[in-house]
Structures are given as C-alpha cells and as structure tokens.
Amino acid sequence: MDFYNILKQIDKGKENIVITIVSGENAGSKLILSDGEILYNNDDEVLWDEIIQNIPNKSKSQVLTINDRKVYYEFLRQSYNVVVCGAGHISISIIKMCKLLDLPVTVIDDRLTFVNNALEAGADKVVCEPFENALNSIQGDSGTFFIIVTRGHRYDQVCLEKIINKENAYIGMIGSRLRVAKVLDYLEGQGISREKLNQVYTPIGLRIGAETPAEIAVSIMAEIIEVKNKKAGHGSYNQELIDCILNEKNNIPKALVTIVSRKGSSPRDVGTKMIVSKDGTMTGTIGGGCVEADIRQTALSCMDNGKCKLVRVDMTGIEAEEDGMVCGGIIELFVEPIN
C-alpha cells in the first residue's frame, strides 16, 4: 500500500506523474515522479531511464509504445488557480470567495485604483497593464480557470482572443446574449473555430437568477466548483478512491480499472478509475452499461490469478450497438489487482 500512501500525501503543487507499464512481462510496474524526483518504484528490474526520457511534453495523460510495450503516463492534478480579467465589483466578490475556497487568484486590469482594490480584497497577484499585454505573460494550464468580467465587450473580446488558445480548465465570459454573440462571431471571423468558441461558458455562471455583483460572483464560483469537481471525479487518484483502497475495515481483495486510452466518443475520459471488490461491489464508474459489467468479470479474474490485463473495448460495430454501447469509440482499460 506504500504507493497509495504516497499518493495521499503527495504535494499537489508539484508536477506529479504516475508511470505504469500496461503491457508485456513488466505489466503493473509503477513509478511516481514528483518534479523529476522518484518517490516510488516497485520494480528495479525495469530500465526506467528511457521511459522517463519519453515523458510527453504536453501534460496530457496518454499511452506510448516504448520498446514494444505500452506505457501509461498519468499526469496527476496540479493545483488550481483563477485568473480574473477585470477588477470591478463582481471581481471583488470573486476574490473573497476564492480565498474561502483556497484558490489562488490573479487579477488583471489597466486601472491602478481598481487593481489596488483587488489587492486589498485579497488577490494573490495583480497585474496593472493593458489586458493584451498582461495575458501574454500568463501561460495557463489544465488547472487554470479564466474569468472574463471586464468593463466592456471590446475588452472581453481582447481577453478571449488571447485566452482561447491557452491550456485551461475553464473559460467563462460575462455579458448579455447579444453582446456575447457579437464577440464570438467576430472571433470566428478571425479564424477561431466555432467548436472551440462553444467551449466558453457564456453567459457566465449557473442560472440562479443572480442580480447583484455578489450574487453574480456566487453563480460564477458555483459553476467553477461544478466544473472542477467533475474533472476531479473523472480522473486520476481522487480522495474517495484512495480512501477506499486504504480502508483497513474493508480489507478484501480489490482490482483497479483505469481508462488509459480512447479514440472517438466514450462515456468517460482517460484517467477515469473504478475499483472492483471481490464481493462484486464497485466504487466509481467507467461509464456503466455492458462495458462495466464485462470488465467486472475481468477484474475478478485478475484478482484470482494476481495478474494485470490490458483490455481493448470496441464500441463502434454492430455488436456494440446491439449491446447498447451508444458512444461509438474505442477504449483501452488497464486492470490491476491491488495488493
């Protein structure tokens, strides 16, 4: 259980990667890297150097084939952060809520008085520059939530044009439907795909009938919490999963099922996990339906023989349709007994 104890205590502010060999004679061998430092290695016979050298440049969990064996690189959740474009009344309430939620927040505005107000409200960082210049220095990553609440749609347009191609967890933009439509139409005319623009949460916030700046801020942060928790629940080693594995009161054999690759449409993302216990109960889900029922049997077999297994599930053919697999993609599932 050392592997899961390390994951439970790992510093989420660092770049953490779990590397798992998912095919071949060393299937199930694991390594944990934290900012390049090896925290865990359960197989000294594996020549990890070449595998480490092939870590993907983009922080996206995926399977690569190295020396005729498949290796799954899983990037664990880094710390979240919020970037707010605009430092008006709504932003002040957003800053205060971010502090309650332990979310670091950066605020951008080109007006010194407003930036100072944001700093007094508790912003971790403020940038007093034109939006275009300020956003050039902010890279964004899979844990960055961008909130666009500027004082006018021309500034919204500048911000969204700069942000849309950055890696992000969320982009939300305030504005009436007419104002939003004008911005999106303009950016589409600049060559940004409508598919990408449709991923922007706009008008921003959950529909709760918000009217005051504070209420609007609540709706925005509620939407961000919803997006954040959905992401956390779908992938990686979330707290519920780790607690289930480490629970000594439930000390029965278990197997872990992870979606390690997908092509086309599938019910869940790469990294989604499910635990199957020897008594047949399951914690988490990889999408339900026939796939889940079949993989449960595979997991029970893996518990019996103590071996890992990589399973390919094709949901594209006629047989898949007859079995009720409506997504139409191909996924690979790695099943590993938990010692």
Contact 27, 43 (CB under 8 A): no
CA-derived radius of gyration, the chain: 23
1/250 Cα distance (integer angstroms)? 14
Residue 319's pLDDT is what?
47
Residue among 62, 67, 25 at smallest CA distance from 43: 25
pLDDT value of position 318: 43
61 pLDDT more than 90: no
- Contacting residues for 43 by C-beta, under 8 A, at least 6 apart: 26, 29, 30
CB 271 within 8 A of CB 59: no
4-13, 85-94, 203-212: least confident range: 4-13
- Helix 112-121 to helix 89-100 angle (10° resolution) is 30
Q: Which two tokens stand for residue 74?
A: 């899983």
Quote the CA–CA distance of 163 and 171 in Å, as a whole number. Answer: 8
Domains of the chain: 1-77 (no CATH), 81-232 (3.40.50.720), 238-339 (no CATH)
Confidence of residue 248 (pLDDT cuts 50, 70, 90): low
Give the pLDDT confidence of 274-314 residue by residue, as tens digits: 999 998 888 888 877 778 888 999 999 999 999 999 999 98
Cβ proximity of 278 and 253 under 8 Å: yes
Q: Does the predicted TM-score (pTM) go above 0.75?
A: no
Q: Name beta bridge partners: 127.
A: 108
Cβ atoms of 13 and 35 within 8 Å: the answer is no
Least reliable range by pLDDT among 72-81, 107-116, 174-183, 220-229: 72-81
Model pLDDT for residues 101-139, shown as the tens digit of each residue: 889 999 999 999 999 999 999 999 999 999 999 999 998
Three-state secondary structure readout of the chain: CHHHHHHHHCCCCCCEEEEEECCCCCCCCEEEEECCEEEEECCCCCCHHHHHHCCCCCCCCEEEEECCEEEEEEECCCCCEEEEECCCHHHHHHHHHHHHCCCCEEEEECCHHHHHHHHHHCCCEEEECCHHHHHHCCCCCCCEEEEECCCCHHHHHHHHHHHCCCCCCEEEECCCHHHHHHHHHHHHHCCCCHHHHCCCECCCCCCCCCCCHHHHHHHHHHHHHHHHHHHHHHCCCCHHHHHHHHCHHHCCCEEEEEEEEEECCCCCCCCCEEEEECCCCEEECCCCHHHHHHHHHHHHHHHHHCCCEEEEEECCCHHHHHCCCCCCCEEEEEEEEEC
